[in-house]
Amino acid sequence: MALRFLVAISLAAAGCVRNPATGHQQLNLISESEEIKMGQQAAEEVTQTIGLYDDPKLEAYVGELGKKLAAVSDRPNVPFQFHVVEDTSVNAFALPGGPVFVTRGILAYMTSEAELATVMGHEIGHVAARHSVNQLSKQELAQVGIGIGSVLSPAVGQLAQAGLSLLFLKYSREDENQADELGFRYALKAGYDVRLMKDLFVTLERVSNSGKGGKLPEWRATHPDPENRLKSTEQRLAKVNVDYSRLTVNRDSYLDRINGLIYGEDPRHGFFKGNSFLHPQLKLRIDFPPDWKTQNQPHAVAGISPKQDAIFELAPAGDTSPEAAAQKFFSKGIEALDTKRVTISGFPAVESYFEAQTKQGTLAGTVAFVAYDGKTYALLGYTVPEKLFTYDATFQRAISTFSALTEPEALNVHPARVEIVTVGRAMTLAEFVAQHPSSVPVDEIALINSVDKNETIPAGTRLKRVVGGIQKQRAVSASR
């Protein structure tokens, strides 16, 4: 143990380098080239598993703004890249070495380019100060107490395996405060009105309190309390002596950019109607067990039992035959039991029971590989072996409901979108919603416009409303 302690001290001393953004000494056991490689690999995984928002013009806009901010950062030579990720949560995140992502969801809640600049400046600040590398270095150093070999082996080979776990890396309170300060500084140096950073934190606090969410954690789950950050911003503003009239807000141009932005979940990627999952693009449907908690992810849709002891999921298995998909599945050390060819809703399929050894123990279940519309889909239900008999009938019923989606209303569904409207006369937000109906309640319209629903909106103000979507009629009635 003494030797390991001495090795840890030696590594910590050797790994302490100057933080390029703050000038302070900081533990970094990972070189810049390793950092960049790690971030690029993780960025590819984000693109493949979460997906990017399909709007080249909006992507280019975010990219140009990001480049403008990166150019005035403390690491302008890092290969930054900027993307809009296809997710409804209100968040943004950065990966080591340059990749920065903002969610589609957060764009709907901001009202100016200046606000977006402070968000992106914050994430650039994390990269500039090498916060991810510092946190990963601390994790690596902590492993010395378990075994020296894990620290002395190549860093990239180990850390790159973190993949999407990099998204959920917890920064310290000091890191977050530094990123706020750096984001403030970069936005100001790029010519933006940093007073809008206060509006941003007020909005984030309201969004957090509203319980709005998405597939990724919301901002509050990965960042400190917005109220405390608001106070820190006010303190920074008190020290700034600038002519704010010369700084950029770009409210109208920002609203023009997000006019038509998809709002909320995109039903074309699949949606639930009760316990039935409908996918318009794949033209399929399947019924999940009633009362199971479900979630639709880019590469699978899954349900978990009320007791959280069984899972059922639907996932694509490739452009192969059911037999080939089954062979690939069972080639991974999973034991097949009673495999047979069957038909499900008239489609050819291969069905089997199975057992699989995992780090958490043995799992047992049933799987069906179904050929449909040129693709094969895996329908998979599993639990612990002693409960398979209890859940088997549930799994079989769910598998039997796989079928073609034929309902015209579901096949032709469209997502809700943000629409920008100019207020013709002074009116309350309630009057605005009555005159320009939305697919979401008035409280939500107040939230995305950063206004109070009882205040009077001046004539000529441009406001967001939400139109369309599969819940239009229910939401409109709820807003009146």
What pLDDT sits at residue 3?
33
Query: Which has more pLDDT, 257 or 207?
Result: 257
Report residue 19's pLDDT band, with 50, 70 and 90 as the boundaries.
low
Task: Select from 294, 296, 276, 295 the least CA-distant residue to 284.
Answer: 276
Task: DSSP for 248-283, please give it.
Answer: B--HHHHHHHHTT-EES--GGG-EEETTEEEETTTT
Distance, in Å, from the CA atom of 315 to the CA atom of 277, rounded to the nearest integer, reads 12
- Convert the pLDDT of each residue in 288-346 to its tens digit: 999 999 988 878 899 999 999 999 999 999 889 999 999 999 988 889 998 999 999 99
Contact 230, 202 (CB under 8 A): yes
Distance, in Å, from the CA atom of 264 to the CA atom of 419, rounded to the nearest integer, reads 13
Instruction: Please provide the size of the chain in residues.
Output: 480
213 token code pair: 């969410």
Report residue 154's pLDDT band, with 50, 70 and 90 as the boundaries.
very low
For the cut 70, the answer to whether the pLDDT of residue 368 exceeds it is yes
Task: Select from 282, 370, 286, 356 the least CA-distant residue to 320.
Answer: 370
What pLDDT sits at residue 31?
75
Distance, in Å, from the CA atom of 284 to the CA atom of 411, rounded to the nearest integer, reads 10
Least confidently predicted of 215-219, 248-252, 369-373: 215-219
What pLDDT sits at residue 33?
82
- The pLDDT mean for the chain works out to 82
Q: What residue spans define the domains of the chain?
A: 2-258, 272-410, 415-479
Burial of residue 186 (number of CB atoms within 10 Å: 0-12, 13-18, 19+): buried
Instruction: List residues bridging with 286 in a β-sheet.
Output: 277
CATH of domain 272-410: 3.40.1000.10
What pLDDT sits at residue 18?
55
- Convert the pLDDT of each residue in 397-414 to its tens digit: 999 999 999 999 999 999
Average pLDDT over residues 184-197: 95
What pLDDT sits at residue 264?
92
What pLDDT sits at residue 23?
52
Task: Select from 249, 250, 203 the least CA-distant residue to 106.
Answer: 203
163 token code pair: 């993949």
Average pLDDT over residues 467-477: 56
Report residue 473's pLDDT band, with 50, 70 and 90 as the boundaries.
very low
Tokens 């990099």 belong to 166
Tokens 């441009």 belong to 462
What pLDDT sits at residue 433?
94
